[in-house]
């Protein structure tokens, strides 16, 4: 039987609609975030979500690694999600989604602002405990925090500059993101430490957007705007690596004292070469591991001690070998 042109058009139109609808769902969804495709089995003990600041950031992958170790040990299905690029709005939407799918617990970076506080409240009211990792929001109803004492870490960064320089010093700060609470706390700690000397002055601050290239650009413009800079301090994990790159670009022969954060392999290599003078090591794997252990306890009862600080250590060329062995767990 011959089909009329109208019917053919209708079939074609319908097929196109279905294809574009499916495409929109797959690709439109992927522009927001990546979600690990792990099919949960039905015999896990709990289903937890770990929400990171940025899914593929090396530092967050270490938190994930620690969390996966603990999850495997306790038969927990762990979903690791995060925005493709650091973005608070996307992160909050992900938390909301995890609340809607009724996971048993959410481990997330704390985010500045009322939206986060409200979301935590909503989650807890629905019986889903939230634990902050890496960055805390004390004013929220989160059940616990696992991570660095960020104010103290900032003080340690300040001490590296105090102990290793003499005379007037002019500091350029590279911060991951202005609106990140842990960056603000580290800066406060740093300021508190240096104010005791009166000879160390912050002259400028730029954002890296927690990327290496962003940190290189930030360094470049800091040095261009403030040629007086004698010290560079990076407050997030990729800043130190970018600072070295930026300095090489604009003033390769300038003598600048550099303090970074974290000990990603490249940062450690630069410490060994003497291009970065000091770095404040955090223990992201430990954070991830501990966060799962604490979340398991939260399934049964609230905690008396709900602020669990992981270690923070100053790493310089001299102790970099010891540190490696210590971290080899």
Cβ atoms within 10 Å, residue 171: 24
The size of the interface with ligand BGC (CB under 6 A), counted in residues, is 13
259-278 positions binding ligand BGC, by CB under 6 A = 261-262
Helix, strand, coil percentages for the chain (3-state, nearest 5): 50, 20, 30
Packing angle, helices 181-194 and 150-164, rounded to 10:
40
Which one, 210 or 229, has the nearer CB to ligand BGC? 210
Beta-carbon contacts of 23 under 8 Å, excluding residues fewer than 6 positions away, are none
From residue 209 to residue 228, what is the string marking binding to ligand BGC with x (rule CB under 6 A)?
Answer: -x------------------
The CB density around residue 68, as the number of other CB atoms within 10 Å, is 18
Sheet (strand 257-261) strand order: 200-207, 169-175, 231-234, 257-261, 278-281, 313-316
**Minimum distance from residue 166 beta carbon to ligand BGC (Å):** 28
d(CA 169, CA 229): 7
Residues 6 or more apart whose Cβ sits within 8 Å of residue 189: 150, 151, 152, 153, 154, 155, 156, 157, 158
Provide the β-strand partners of residue 105. 48
Taking contact as CB under 6 A, which single stretch among the options 77-85, 112-120, 233-241, 286-294 is the one that binds ligand BGC?
233-241
* Cα–Cα dist 116/92, whole Å: 7
Shortest distance, CB of residue 314 to ligand BGC, whole angstroms?
14
Q: Which stretch binds ligand BGC (CB under 6 A): 125-133, 194-202, 236-244, 307-315?
A: 236-244
- Cβ nearer to ligand BGC, comparing 61 with 93: 61
State which residue, 183 or 230, has the beta carbon closest to ligand BGC: 183
Q: Measured from the CB atom, is 123 or 135 closer to ligand BGC?
A: 135
Q: Which of 95, 237, 244, 276 binds ligand BGC (CB under 6 A)?
A: 237
Stretch of 97-105, 221-229, 235-243, 251-259 lying at the interface with ligand BGC (CB under 6 A): 235-243
Question: Segment contacting ligand BGC (CB under 6 A): 1-9, 38-46, 232-240, 267-275?
Answer: 232-240
Helix (H, G, I), strand (E, B) or coil at 113: coil
Binding-site member from 33, 48, 49, 53 for ligand BGC (CB under 6 A): 53
Considering only residues 79 to 138 of the shown chain, the ones binding ligand BGC according to CB under 6 A are 134-135
Binding mask 176-205 for ligand BGC (x = CB under 6 A): x-----x-----------------------
DSSP E strands in 86-163: the ranges are 105-108, 130-133, 144-147
CA-CA-CA-CA torsion for 292, 60, 87, 281, nearest 10 degrees?
110
State the minimum distance, in angstroms, from the CB of residue 125 to ligand BGC. Answer: 27
Identify the residue among 33, 48, 59, 116 touching ligand BGC (CB under 6 A): 59
- Considering the complex, state which of residue 120 and residue 235 has its C-beta at the smaller distance from ligand BGC: 235
Across the beta sheet with 307-309, the strand order is: 33-35, 76-83, 46-51, 105-108, 130-133, 144-147, 307-309
Query: Which listed range, 167-175, 196-204, 224-232, 234-242, lies at the site for ligand BGC (CB under 6 A)?
Result: 234-242
Candidates 33, 49, 55, 57; binder of ligand BGC (CB under 6 A) is 57
CA–CA dist 203, 210 (Å, integer): 21
Residue numbers at the binding site for ligand BGC (CB under 6 A):
53, 57, 59, 134-135, 176, 182, 210, 236-238, 261-262
């Amino acid at each position: 039987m011959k089909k009329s042109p109208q019917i053919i058009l209708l079939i074609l139109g319908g097929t196109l609609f279905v294809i574009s609808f499916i495409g929109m769902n797959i690709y439109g969804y992927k522009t927001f975030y990546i979600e690990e495709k792990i099919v949960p089995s039905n015999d896990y003990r709990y289903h937890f979500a770990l929400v990171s600041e940025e899914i593929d950031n090396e530092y967050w992958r270490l938190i994930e690694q620690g969390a996966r170790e603990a999850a495997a040990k306790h038969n927990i299905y762990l979903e690791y999600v995060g925005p493709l690029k650091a973005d608070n709005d996307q992160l909050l939407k992900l938390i909301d989604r995890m609340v809607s799918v009724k996971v048993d617990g959410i481990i997330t970076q704390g985010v500045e602002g009322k939206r986060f506080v409200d979301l935590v409240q909503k989650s807890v009211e629905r019986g889903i405990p939230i634990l902050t990792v890496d960055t805390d929001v004390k004013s929220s109803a989160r059940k616990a925090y696992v991570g660095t004492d960020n104010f103290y870490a900032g003080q340690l960064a300040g001490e590296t500059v105090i102990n290793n320089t003499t005379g007037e010093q002019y500091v350029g700060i590279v911060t991951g993101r202005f609106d990140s609470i842990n960056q603000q706390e580290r800066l406060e700690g740093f300021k508190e430490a240096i104010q005791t000397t009166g000879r160390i002055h912050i002259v400028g601050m730029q954002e890296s957007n927690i990327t290496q290239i962003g940190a290189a650009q930030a360094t470049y413009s800091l040095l261009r705007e403030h040629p007086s800079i004698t010290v560079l301090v990076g407050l997030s994990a990729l800043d130190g690596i970018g600072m070295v790159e930026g300095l090489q670009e604009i003033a390769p022969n300038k003598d600048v004292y550099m303090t970074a954060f974290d000990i990603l392999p490249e940062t450690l290599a630069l410490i060994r070469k003497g291009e970065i003078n000091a770095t404040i090591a955090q223990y992201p794997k430990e954070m991830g591991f501990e966060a799962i252990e604490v979340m398991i306890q939260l399934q049964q009862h609230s905690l008396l001690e709900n602020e669990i600080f992981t270690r923070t250590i100053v790493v310089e060329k001299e102790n970099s070998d010891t540190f490696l062995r210590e971290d080899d767990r």
